A = this chain, B = another copy of it.
Amino acid sequence: MAESGITPRQTDYSQWYLDVIQAAELSDYSPVKGSMVLRPHGFAIWDLMRTGLDQRFQATGHVNAYFPLLIPVSFLSKEAEHVEGFAKECAVVTHHRLRAAVGGGVEPDPTAKLEEPLVIRPTSETIIWHMYGKWIQSHRDLPILINQWANVVRWEMKTRPFLRTSEFLWQEGHTAHATRAEAVEEAERMLRVYTDFAQKEMAMPVIPGTKSASERFAGAVDTLCIEAMMQNGWALQAGTSHFLGQNFAKAFDVTFTGESGVREHVWATSWGVSTRLVGALIMTHSDDTGLVLPPRLAPIQVVITPMWKGDGEKAAAVAFAEAAAARLVGLRVRVDTRDQMKPGAKYFEWERKGVPLRLEIGPRDMAANSVFAAPRTGGGKFAIVVDDDFATTVRAKLDEIQALLYQRAEARLAERTAPVQNYEELKAKLDGGGFFLANWCDDAANEATIKEETRATIRCYPLDGQTPDGPCFYSGRPATHVALFARAY
């Protein structure tokens, strides 16, 4: 472990990830196995993600609503494939009361056993489509474009902060449409929204694509996704958008009277992203010193660290810092006025926490009416005069940092994405990490074999318009797709 308390990425990438989270105080383990505490700094990142996404959802005509946490178990069984995918590792509520236990403590009261057990939502399609059945009568009730911000629970034995936890926070959009074409268009639109969010806010390039049948959402006709590349070359699924066809409408018998007067089943989509995006953000930009945040998602974008010797100098230094901060209207700025902490220790803390831009203020800076700027992304420090151009200069620097982070991630993605001609080549290259493109003949059994032998999966069939230029790299049969293989979180 380095002086920073953070294991270098080269030594142990998994441990580095945990160390960064710990050092930046993003999350903590809870006494309930698999549940995570989102500490203020980690939650604030998620809250900024929420804001950025919610603006995009509203701009595309969606509204928020809230549906119940608890779902009757019988609902899960109504859609045949959905039950396979989601009715397994669920938190099951069986009692509604506790009683005093013999010998102290409390225990479930046997007289308060529920007639029908309830599950904590692993996802809300079933309860929402039950309600849509009440709300949808005619074509005038369509489309319904609802999103929900919520917590969900999927019991996990092996967990990792942000990436895989039993409880997590997410948003789930659930839309209902009169036609198949409209629903398909909606699923595609929301994938573009996620792509735009990942690129512009997270500074994270992604590969949009469709899932193979075996990686599809349980109950979907088609699953669209965006896949991002982490620094170790592994893939992370950063968002999914599902075209559900009429599967849930049929399971919950949701029909509408069309303009022609005929009753038809409604067409559906659902789409979601979760707190695992915080994990993706960490593994896209951070370094061996700690967290690195793109300015647009940084809870603190600028930290100002005045220096002083003795109490006599403090007032003037703090006043200068506060005056500089007051010029940065609309930015998220912190002035660090803590006593009993040396400047070096402060720099170290804000670096670990990923603050994009630090403005140091010493006596000489004050004399020159300037601050000394240190971008978290490196590249040397420089002075900025605190005049009428100050805010413009700081904003431009933040934009530059945002752009630089995207460029670095994009370069890595380009550098580490390569075609493979045959299975041996894939197997040889996988340990080094990266995305591998192969001509592929869609076949669930072959896919399963590859997964078992290599731990790599088809992340998606990219939507970039590429077509196979030869036979399947695995079976030699005529190829149906270009498939993106990678190991994934």
Contacts and interface: CB of A to CB of B under 8 A. Distances in A.
Contacts of A47: 64
Contacts of A150: 151
A70 B104 CA distance: 21
Main secondary structure of the interface of A (DSSP, over half): mixed
Contact of A91 (B31, B32, B70, B71): B70
A341 to B, nearest CB: 10
A146 B28 contact: no
Contact of A44 (B43, B63, B93, B95): B63
Interface string A27-54: 0101110011111100110110000000
Interface stretch (A12-20, A114-122, A197-205, A318-326): A114-122
Interface string A122-160: 000001001100110000000000100011010100000
Interface in A56-88: 63-77, 83, 87-88
Given A35-B69, A105-B77, A28 B95 contact: no
> Interface size for chain A: under 10, 10 to 19, 20 to 34, or 35 or more residues?
35 or more
A455 interface: no
Contact of A40 (B64, B151, B169): B64
Contacts of A36: 68
B31 A127 contact: yes
A353 B170 CA distance: 29
A277 B93 CA distance: 28
A91 B74 contact: no
A126 to B, nearest CB: 10
Contacts of A83: 106
A108 interface: yes
Given A37-B131, A127-B30, A131-B30, A96 B91 contact: yes
Contacts of A35: 68-70
Contact of A106 (B87, B89, B167): B87
Interface string A153-179: 101000000000001010000000000
B108 A98 contact: no
A37 B65 contact: yes
A65 B40 contact: yes
A36 to B, nearest CB: 7
A97 interface: yes
A315 interface: no
A397 B195 CA distance: 42
A421 interface: no
A83 to B, nearest CB: 7
A65 B472 CA distance: 49
For A71, A92, A105, the residue with the greatest tally of chain B CB atoms inside 10 Å of its CB is A92
A141 B74 CA distance: 48
A146 B40 contact: yes
Nearest to A71: B32
A106 B65 CA distance: 28
Contacts of A94: 92-95, 108
B151 A67 contact: no
A128 B262 CA distance: 55
Contacts of A64: 40, 43-44, 47
Nearest to A105: B77
Nearest to A99: B88
Contacts of A71: 32
23 contacts: A30-B67, A32-B70, A35-B70, A37-B65, A37-B67, A37-B131, A38-B65, A38-B66, A39-B65, A43-B65, A47-B64, A68-B167, A73-B105, A74-B105, A77-B104, A77-B106, A87-B98, A88-B98, A91-B118, A92-B108, A93-B94, A95-B117, A120-B120
Interface of A: 28, 30-32, 35-40, 43-44, 46-47, 63-77, 83, 87-98, 104-108, 117-120, 127, 130-131, 134-135, 146, 150-151, 153, 155, 167, 169
Q: 3 smallest A-B Cβ distances: which pairs?
A: A35-B68, A38-B66, A40-B63
